[in-house]
Chain A
Amino acid sequence: MTQPIIACFKLDYGNFILNIDLQLPGTGITVLFGHSGSGKTTLLRCIAGLQHAQQGFLEINGKVWQDSELNLFLPTHKRPLGYVFQEANLFPHLTVAGNLQFGLKRIAKKPGTIDLQHILELLGIENLLKRMPDRLSGGERQRVAIARALALNPEILLMDEPLASLDFKRKQEILPFLSRLHQALNIPVLYVTHSQQEVAQLADTLVILEGGKALASGPLSETLSRLDVPLAQNWDASTVWPVSLIEHETDYHLTRVAFDGGILSLPMIDAAIGTLLRVQIYARDVSIALEAPTATSILNVLPATITGLTDDRGGQSVVRLKVGTQSLLAHITHKSAVLLNLNLGLVVYVQIKGTSILN
């Protein structure tokens, strides 16, 4: 599915107004990011039809699910979607197998569907089938819930903070499964979270919500580095680049990865050549030089163009740069920005002091 998702909703609760007009890509993981009360869950519920927005238009995979002008509203049970709730929300009166079968019994089996066995293996729940939900750990429950949604071979997968109710250990247990799903599925995923970590790890597209409105929406790095969004000003502001592993330098205990804009050296990663990875670069680890530094201990020095610059904010300036096709943020002192006479369009060299691999 490559047709874009068109979602427009107006919902008035008196003390909260949702006003959304979004066009999202029909592939990959789109993360709806925001603090509690930003409307991210409400938006997801509107898309699922669990909440009925008075005014709305929703088109998924070329099919209209809601058009308030035509008085069209497809009830949830007629929408070909998969939904994962914050609490796994398994049926307590059914076994794991019974939960998985619940939806399967109610759909006409289409040819070429993902088979259940494959999903069970992907999520590592093959040996839980006979258990009752109250005999599962939180992480297992959530994995069953994901399998239950995927088993229906939905046209879109909606996930409402699926990790929020889990502790750190359980999160680490599920995140790899989600990353794997990402590569195994060819349906779009809408993923609600308030965790920057999950954004960095999972998002291809990022939508930032605040007070019921979408502040920004677009490809991950581009949106993370937008200067008009508060995220770029945070002390832990970062950008995420997709890279592929090209070479190990065993003598120096380094790994070299390529992105469309150059090559980065990273501390040795235990992965095969060709592996696709995500590299997170914090704005505080990036410094700027006007000329290519000839003698520096920093390995990653790349040419870049300045595409954005904020005013002085408490002595700090945020610089947005383009390296190849990728966006990058640098936090520098306002004094440096003035002394170097940084301007839009200026070609500089960025020195990246540290990176971290996300998967």
Chain B
Amino acid sequence: MLATADLDALFLTFKVASISTILMLLLGTPLAWWLARTTCTWKGFINAIVALPLVLPPTVLGFYLLVFMGPVGLIGELTTWVGLGTLPFTFAGLVVASVLYSMPFVVQPLQAAFTSIGEHPLEAAATLRASPLDTFFSVVIPLAKPGFLTATILGFTHTVGEFGVVLMIGGNIPDKTRVVSVQIYNHVEALEYNEAHWLAGCLLLFSFTVLLILYTVLKTQPNVQQLK
């Protein structure tokens, strides 16, 4: 059965995933819109940066974040200067790392959805007195709804499943940074296979259910493959 420590880890995992997903949608939506619309020469460069976590080993990303957010890193000095202290091994640091790590899973479905809307509905809205911002909320978001659903689900589940980045940047602090994937690793290290089974089973069931909903009920194309 699940021990208190395991339940805490589960709770923490979903907390990190929820907060990260909200942040990713808030940041990723304008970014994806810009990427879908711009003809700027920097587009390719930004696209490559956003997609980087797809190909980079999580430990590499985690390592750099550790360095930059640490006491002598650029970001670390900044956060210390504004009175936040350093981010590694804190819940906030974990959220920052998760946002960066899972961002492509939010940005890419959104970007694809925005691109497929095309110019025509936007022009029609403009001739019907809708300002660009108004058009975004009344036309773009409803038309991109499948993209938003895919982005939310993929962003959330991918954050739930992360391990390497968490280990590097978050460590293994109960209630603060010890998420499910780390807890499973702890159990296996301690040869507690029974506990590991329970937790692993929970994650397996969760992930499969979410994907099943995604591909059957919502009839989304399996674009994770296209992404990778």
Footprint of B on A, CB under 8 Å? 48-50, 75-78, 81-83, 85, 87, 89-93, 102-103, 106-107, 148-149, 152
By a CB distance below 8 angstroms, the chain A residues around B132 are 77
By a CB distance below 8 angstroms, the chain B residues around A91 are 121, 124-125, 139, 143
Q: By the criterion of a CB under 8 Å from any partner CB, how many residues of chain B are at the interface?
A: 17
User: Across the two chains, which residue of chain A brings its CB closest to B138?
Assistant: A102
By a CB distance below 8 angstroms, the chain B residues around A152 are 128-129
Partner of A93, one of B124, B126, B143: B143
Partner of A85, one of B124, B134, B138: B124
Query: Is B142 in contact with chain A by the CB < 8 A criterion?
Result: yes
A50-B123, A76-B123, A77-B126 given; 16 more Cβ-contact pairs under 8 Å:
A49-B126, A50-B126, A75-B131, A76-B126, A77-B128, A77-B132, A78-B129, A83-B124, A85-B120, A89-B120, A102-B128, A103-B129, A106-B130, A107-B129, A149-B127, A152-B129
By a CB distance below 8 angstroms, the chain A residues around B139 are 91, 93
Partner of A48, one of B125, B127, B143: B127
By a CB distance below 8 angstroms, the chain A residues around B128 are 77, 102-103, 106, 148, 152
By a CB distance below 8 angstroms, the chain A residues around B143 are 91-93
Q: Are A85 and B129 in contact (CB under 8 A)?
A: no
Q: Are B129 and A77 in contact (CB under 8 A)?
A: yes
By a CB distance below 8 angstroms, the chain A residues around B120 are 85, 87, 89
By a CB distance below 8 angstroms, the chain B residues around A106 are 128-130, 134
By a CB distance below 8 angstroms, the chain B residues around A103 are 128-130
CB distance from A301 to the nearest CB of B (A): 50
CB distance from A284 to the nearest CB of B (A): 42
User: Across the two chains, which residue of chain B brings its CB closest to A93?
Assistant: B142
By a CB distance below 8 angstroms, the chain B residues around A49 are 126
By a CB distance below 8 angstroms, the chain B residues around A102 are 125, 128, 130, 138
Given A91-B121, A106-B134, A81 and B127 contact (CB-CB distance below 8 Å): yes
Footprint of A on B, CB under 8 Å? 120-121, 123-132, 134, 138-139, 142-143
CB distance from A95 to the nearest CB of B (A): 13
CB distance from B192 to the nearest CB of A (A): 51
User: Across the two chains, which residue of chain A brings its CB closest to B124?
Assistant: A89
Q: What are 27 contact pairs spanning A and B, CB under 8 A? A: A50-B123, A77-B125, A77-B127, A77-B131, A77-B132, A77-B134, A78-B129, A83-B123, A85-B120, A85-B123, A85-B124, A89-B123, A89-B124, A91-B121, A91-B125, A91-B139, A92-B143, A93-B139, A93-B142, A102-B125, A102-B128, A102-B138, A106-B128, A106-B129, A106-B134, A152-B128, A152-B129
Given A91-B139, A93-B143, A106-B134, A82 and B127 contact (CB-CB distance below 8 Å): yes
Q: Are A75 and B126 in contact (CB under 8 A)?
A: yes
By a CB distance below 8 angstroms, the chain B residues around A87 are 120
By a CB distance below 8 angstroms, the chain A residues around B126 are 49-50, 75-77
User: Across the two chains, which residue of chain A brings its CB closest to B126?
Assistant: A76
CA distance A92 to B134 in the complex (A): 17
CB distance from A186 to the nearest CB of B (A): 20
CA distance A92 to B121 in the complex (A): 9
CB distance from B20 to the nearest CB of A (A): 29
CB distance from B136 to the nearest CB of A (A): 12
CA distance A92 to B140 in the complex (A): 11
CB distance from B27 to the nearest CB of A (A): 25
